[in-house]
């Protein structure tokens, strides 16, 4: 419609929401997420479904995937109020600025955790190899770099966090994208 007002959030970059990773006190991830929810701050605390064994029983528990991390979806204007939340220490930084996490990476984490349990997490300290396209499952049609293959374990890189999620995925569910970068499986 001509002359229609454009919503402020569409034009003002300070009102555009982005995902940020925040450091929390140890064992405060769920508490911080709960406080954010009460404050109407969109957040995500990835929970890993893990089977725990006690001497008298087994139980499925939900543990934070990233220890001392919670993600918040906030605008630049809201960033200070997030830091004023009990249990929050600081933003995870990249090159001196709060690291912005891509929406696609948050979605990838959510999908990965829906499809897999007992997910392991390790710090990224390895080089790249083959480019592949995943042909089945939560990451279907996503392209990535094979970090390492041992048996059926495939490691998926999340570059803006500097972590790798590991889960058992059949080699038959990936295809080589470019044969000139071929490595050995």
Q: Would you call 157 helix, strand, or coil by DSSP? A: strand
Q: Tell me: the pLDDT tens digits for 105-133?
A: 899 899 889 888 888 876 533 233 566 66
pTM of the model: 0.63
Q: How far apart are CA 68 and CA 142, in angstroms?
A: 28
Residue 5 has pLDDT above 70, yes or no: no
Q: Tell me: the pLDDT tens digits for 137-167?
A: 666 666 666 666 665 556 655 454 566 665 5
Q: How far apart are CA 129 and CA 138, in angstroms?
A: 22
Q: Tell me: the pLDDT tens digits for 68-84?
A: 999 999 998 899 889 99
**pLDDT value of residue 45:** 96
**pLDDT value of residue 167:** 58
* pLDDT band at residue 11 under the 50/70/90 scheme: low
Tokens of 40: 């109407």
Residue 103 has pLDDT above 50, yes or no: yes
Residue 3 has pLDDT above 60, yes or no: no
**pLDDT value of residue 183:** 45
Q: How far apart are CA 165 and CA 123, in angstroms?
A: 9
Per DSSP, 16 falls in state S
Q: Tell me: the pLDDT tens digits for 26-54?
A: 999 999 999 999 999 999 999 988 888 88
DSSP per residue over 108-167, as a string? HHHHHHHH-SS-EEEE-------EEEE-SSTTTT-EEE---EETTEEEEEETTTTEEEEE
**pLDDT value of residue 4:** 46
Helices (H), 13-139: 29-38, 79-83, 103-115
Domains along the chain with CATH numbers: 1-101 (3.30.70.940), 115-185 (2.30.30.30)
Least Cα distance to 35 among 103, 96, 82, 92 occurs for 82
Q: DSSP 3-state helix, strand, coil percentages of the chain (rounded to 5)? A: 25, 35, 40
């Amino acid at each position: 419609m001509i002359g229609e007002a454009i919503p402020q959030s569409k034009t003002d970059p300070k009102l555009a929401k982005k995902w940020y990773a925040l450091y929390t006190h140890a064992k405060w991830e769920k508490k911080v997420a709960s406080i954010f929810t009460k404050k109407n701050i969109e957040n995500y605390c990835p929970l890993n479904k893990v089977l725990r064994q006690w001497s008298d029983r087994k139980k499925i528990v939900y543990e934070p995937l990233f220890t001392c991390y919670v993600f918040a979806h906030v605008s630049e204007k809201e960033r200070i109020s997030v830091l004023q939340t009990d249990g929050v220490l600081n933003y995870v930084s990249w090159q001196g600025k709060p690291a912005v996490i891509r929406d696609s990476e948050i979605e990838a984490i959510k999908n990965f955790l829906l499809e897999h349990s007992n997910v392991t997490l390790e710090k990224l300290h390895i080089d790249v190899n083959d480019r592949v396209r995943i042909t089945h499952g939560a990451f279907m049609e996503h392209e990535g770099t094979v970090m390492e293959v041992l048996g059926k374990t495939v490691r998926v890189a999340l570059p803006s966090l500097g972590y790798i999620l590991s889960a058992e995925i059949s080699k038959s569910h990936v295809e080589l994208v470019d044969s000139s970068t071929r490595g050995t499986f």
